[in-house]
C-alpha cells in the first residue's frame, strides 16, 4: 500500500469571497536544483480537455516537464508520466475523462512506475476527487488549478517517495509569473490576462474550480505579447473566464479596454479575446474594436437564454433588452462584425414559451455560430438544487430545433463571402485532406483553401469559391 498525502478540495471554502482575500500577490516560478534532471530519458503525455484556458494550462505543464528533461509523446503507451488536464463544465465532459483514465489502467499494470496525474477543473471538485480516489487506484497524483506551478515538486515527491498525493487548494493562491511554456501553435499564442470568475451564474462550476477573479499585471501581459510577436506569431488570444472584468482587482478604471488598446498598439497583427460577459461589456471596448484594425472584428458574447425569466434564474445580471442593445451598438460601430454565442436549453423548468424566446433572440441576432448545450446539473451549484420537471426527451428536441435554426442562419450569413477576397491566417493543413490548407479569416471563419505555395503560419489572401454553414472554401491568390 502506498503512503497517502491528501489535501482535498472543499466547495464550502471555494464559495468564500471576502474583502480581505481580494488582493492578489504576485510571485515568480522557481524550480529547485535537485529536480531539474528528474525526466532525463523519460517521456510525458498530456491529454487536454475543454476550453482554451485548459489549453494554455497544458502548455505550461509541457513547459515545466521539458524544463525537467522530459520529452513529449502522443502515444500514452510510451509515456512515463500521463496528465489528464480535465474539464468539469458538463457531466459528459467528466464522464469522458474518467473513461479515458480507466481505459489506460493496463499501463500501470504492465509498468507500475508509470505515473498517472489528474489536474484541471475536475481536480477542484470535492465529490469527483473522492470518487477518483476510490474507483481509480492507479491515479497517483491529483493537483488543482491554483497550484499548477507546484507540479514539478509534487511529481518529484510521488516518484521519489512512492506516495499517492492530492494537493488541491480551495482558496486561490498567487498570480505566478514566468512559468515555463511550450506553445502548442506557431501561428498564434494564448495569453492569460486573468484567472477565475466572480459571477456565480447559478448553473456554473467555474467560480468554484477556477477561484476568485485575479488579473495579471498589464506589464507582464504586454511582455508576453511582445515575445509572441517577436517569435513570428501573428495572433494573440487573450484569455479569461470573464475578460471584461480585467483590472477590477487591480483598481484599474475600464481595465479591459486599457489593456486591449495597449495590446493593439504593440502592432501584433491579430488580437482576439475570450470570453466576454454582457454585464461588464463597456462602450469603450466597442470603440476600441472600431478604432484598431488589428482587433479582430468578431465577438463571442454568451447570452445563454432569450428569456428574461430564465436569465434571472441563471443570475446572469442582464436582460434580453440590454443584450440586444449591446448587439445593436456593436453592429452600428463595427458593421462587418461576426457575432457568436453560447446557449443553454432545458435549464430547470424552462417552459415552451421561454424556449421560444431563445429562438426569437437567435432570429434577431442572426449569430454566425453558437455553442448550444443541454443544461447539466453540477454538484455544489445553486441550480443543481432547483426542481426540474422537464423530461430529457423534451430537452433533446429543443436542442435539435435550436441547432437546426442556428445552422440555417449560419449558412445564410456565410453566403455574403462568396467571391470575396479574405485574409486568412493559415494554421496548418486540413484534418481531412493534407493537400488542403486550413486557417481563419479576420472574422474567425474557418477557411479551407488550396495554395500553390506553402503558407503555414502566414497570413494570405484567399478568394472564396464556396460557402457552407460553418466553413468557407477558396483558393489562395
Q: Which is nearer to ligand 5AD, 210 or 229 (CB)?
A: 210
In the DSSP assignment, the letter for residue 304 is: B
**Candidate list 121, 197, 286, 425; residue touching ligand SF4; CB under 6 A:** 197
Give the DSSP letter string of 51-119: SHHHHHHHHHHHHHHHHTT-EE-S-GGG-SEEEEEE--SSHHHHHHHHHHHHHTHHHHHH-TT-EEEEE
Q: How far apart are CB 54 and ligand 5AD at their closest, in Å?
A: 12
> Helix 320-333 vs helix 352-365: angle between axes, to the nearest 10 degrees?
10
Nearest to 278 by CA among 246, 254, 304: 304
Residue span binding ligand SF4 (CB under 6 A) among the ranges 79-87, 197-205, 287-295, 397-405: 197-205
Q: Where does residue 241 rank: exposed (0-12), middle (13-18), buried (19+ CB within 10 A)?
A: buried
Residues 201-230 that bind ligand SF4 (CB under 6 A): 201, 204, 206-207
Choose the one of ligand 5AD, ligand SF4, none that binds residue 199, judging by a C-beta under 5 to 8 angstroms depending on kind: ligand SF4
In three-state secondary structure terms, 350 is coil
Q: How far apart are CB 409 and ligand 5AD at their closest, in Å?
A: 18
Binding site per annotation, positions: 51, 87, 121, 197, 201, 204
Examine residue 248 and tell whether it contacts ligand SF4 (CB under 6 A). no
Q: Which cell is 151 given?
A: 507540479
Q: Give the x/- contact pattern for ligand SF4 in 372-391, rule: CB under 6 A.
A: --------------------
The footprint of ligand SF4 on this chain (CB under 6 A) covers a number of residues equal to 10
The footprint of ligand 5AD on this chain (CB under 6 A) covers a number of residues equal to 12
Q: Which is nearer to ligand 5AD, 120 or 302 (CB)?
A: 302
Q: Which is nearer to ligand SF4, 200 or 373 (CB)?
A: 200
Residue span binding ligand 5AD (CB under 6 A) among the ranges 36-44, 94-102, 350-358, 373-381: 373-381
Residue of this chain nearest to ligand 5AD (CB atom): 342
Nearest to 244 by CA among 210, 289, 311: 289
Edge to edge, what strands does the sheet with 81-86 contain? 3-7, 163-167, 141-143, 115-120, 81-86, 43-48, 71-72
Backbone angles phi, psi at 83, to 5 degrees: -115, 135
Q: Give the x/- contact pattern for ligand 5AD in 291-310, rule: CB under 6 A.
A: -----------x-x------
Rg (CA), the chain: 23
**Candidate list 154, 204, 238, 296; residue touching ligand 5AD; CB under 6 A:** 204
Choose the one of ligand SF4, ligand 5AD, none that binds residue 236, judging by a C-beta under 5 to 8 angstroms depending on kind: none
Q: How far is it, in rounded angstroms, from Cα 277 to Cα 200?
A: 12
Q: How far is it, in rounded angstroms, from Cα 52 to Cα 56?
A: 6
Residues 89-148 that bind ligand 5AD (CB under 6 A): 89-90
Binding site per annotation, positions for [4Fe-4S] cluster: 51, 87, 121, 197, 201, 204
Tell me the pairing of strands 188-192 and 43-48: unpaired
Residue span binding ligand 5AD (CB under 6 A) among the ranges 117-125, 372-380, 425-433, 463-471: 372-380
Tell me the pairing of strands 421-429 and 459-467: antiparallel
Backbone angles phi, psi at 191, to 5 degrees: -130, 115
Q: Which is nearer to ligand 5AD, 367 or 375 (CB)?
A: 375
Backbone angles phi, psi at 63, to 5 degrees: -60, -45
**Candidate list 141, 179, 344, 390; residue touching ligand 5AD; CB under 6 A:** 344
Q: Which is nearer to ligand 5AD, 89 or 406 (CB)?
A: 89
Interface residues toward ligand SF4, by CB under 6 A: 197, 199-201, 204, 206-207, 241-242, 277
> Where on the chain is the footprint of ligand 5AD (CB under 6 A)?
89-90, 203-204, 302, 304, 342, 344, 373, 375-376, 378
Amino acid at each position: 500500500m502506498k503512503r497517502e498525502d491528501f489535501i482535498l478540495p472543499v466547495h464550502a471554502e471555494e464559495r468564500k469571497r471576502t474583502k480581505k482575500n481580494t488582493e492578489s500577490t504576485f510571485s515568480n516560478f522557481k524550480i529547485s536544483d535537485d529536480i531539474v534532471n528528474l525526466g532525463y530519458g523519460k517521456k510525458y503525455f498530456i491529454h487536454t480537455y475543454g476550453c482554451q484556458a485548459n489549453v494554455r494550462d497544458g502548455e505550461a505543464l509541457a513547459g515545466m516537464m521539458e524544463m525537467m528533461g522530459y520529452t513529449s509523446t502522443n502515444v500514452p503507451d510510451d509515456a512515463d508520466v500521463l496528465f489528464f488536464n480535465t474539464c468539469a463544465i458538463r457531466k459528459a465532459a467528466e464522464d469522458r475523462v474518467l473513461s479515458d483514465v480507466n481505459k489506460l489502467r493496463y499501463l500501470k499494470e504492465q509498468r507500475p512506475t508509470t505515473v498517472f496525474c489528474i489536474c484541471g477543473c475536475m481536480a477542484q471538485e470535492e465529490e469527483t476527487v473522492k470518487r477518483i480516489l476510490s474507483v481509480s487506484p492507479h491515479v497517483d497524483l491529483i493537483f488543482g488549478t491554483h497550484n499548477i506551478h507546484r507540479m514539478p515538486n509534487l511529481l518529484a515527491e510521488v516518484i521519489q517517495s512512492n506516495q499517492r498525493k492530492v494537493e488541491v487548494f480551495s482558496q486561490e493562491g498567487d498570480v505566478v509569473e514566468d512559468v515555463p511554456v511550450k506553445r502548442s501553435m506557431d501561428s498564434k499564442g494564448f495569453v492569460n490576462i486573468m484567472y477565475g470568475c466572480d459571477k456565480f451564474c447559478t448553473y456554473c462550476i467555474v467560480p468554484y474550480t477556477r477561484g476568485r477573479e485575479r488579473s495579471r499585471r498589464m506589464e507582464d501581459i504586454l511582455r508576453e505579447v511582445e515575445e509572441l510577436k517577436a517569435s513570428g506569431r501573428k495572433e494573440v488570444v487573450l484569455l479569461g473566464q470573464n475578460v471584461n472584468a480585467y483590472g477590477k482587482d487591480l483598481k484599474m478604471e475600464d481595465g479591459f479596454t486599457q489593456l486591449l488598446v495597449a495590446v493593439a498598439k504593440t502592432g501584433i497583427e491579430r488580437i482576439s479575446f475570450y470570453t466576454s460577459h454582457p454585464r461588464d461589456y463597456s462602450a469603450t471596448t466597442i470603440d476600441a474594436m472600431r478604432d484598431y484594425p488589428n482587433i479582430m472584428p468578431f465577438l463571442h458574447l454568451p447570452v445563454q437564454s432569450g428569456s428574461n425569466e430564465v436569465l434571472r434564474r441563471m443570475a446572469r445580471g442582464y436582460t434580453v433588452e440590454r443584450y440586444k442593445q449591446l448587439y445593436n451598438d456593436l453592429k452600428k460601430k463595427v458593421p462587418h462584425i461576426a457575432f457568436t454565442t453560447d446557449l443553454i436549453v432545458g435549464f430547470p423548468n424552462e417552459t415552451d414559451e421561454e424556449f421560444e424566446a431563445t429562438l426569437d433572440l437567435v432570429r434577431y441576432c442572426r449569430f454566425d455560430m453558437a455553442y448550444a448545450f443541454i443544461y447539466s446539473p453540477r454538484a455544489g451549484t445553486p441550480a443543481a438544487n432547483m426542481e426540474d420537471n422537464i423530461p430529457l426527451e423534451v430537452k433533446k428536441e429543443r436542442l435539435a430545433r435550436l441547432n437546426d435554426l442556428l445552422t440555417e442562419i449560419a449558412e445564410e450569413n456565410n453566403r455574403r463571402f462568396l467571391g470575396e477576397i479574405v485574409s486568412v491566417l493559415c494554421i496548418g493543413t486540413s484534418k481531412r485532406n493534407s493537400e488542403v490548407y486550413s486557417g481563419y479569416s479576420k472574422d474567425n471563419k474557418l477557411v479551407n483553401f488550396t495554395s500553390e505555395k506553402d503558407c503555414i503560419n502566414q497570413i494570405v489572401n484567399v478568394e472564396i469559391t464556396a460557402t457552407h454553414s460553418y466553413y468557407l472554401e477558396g483558393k489562395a491568390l
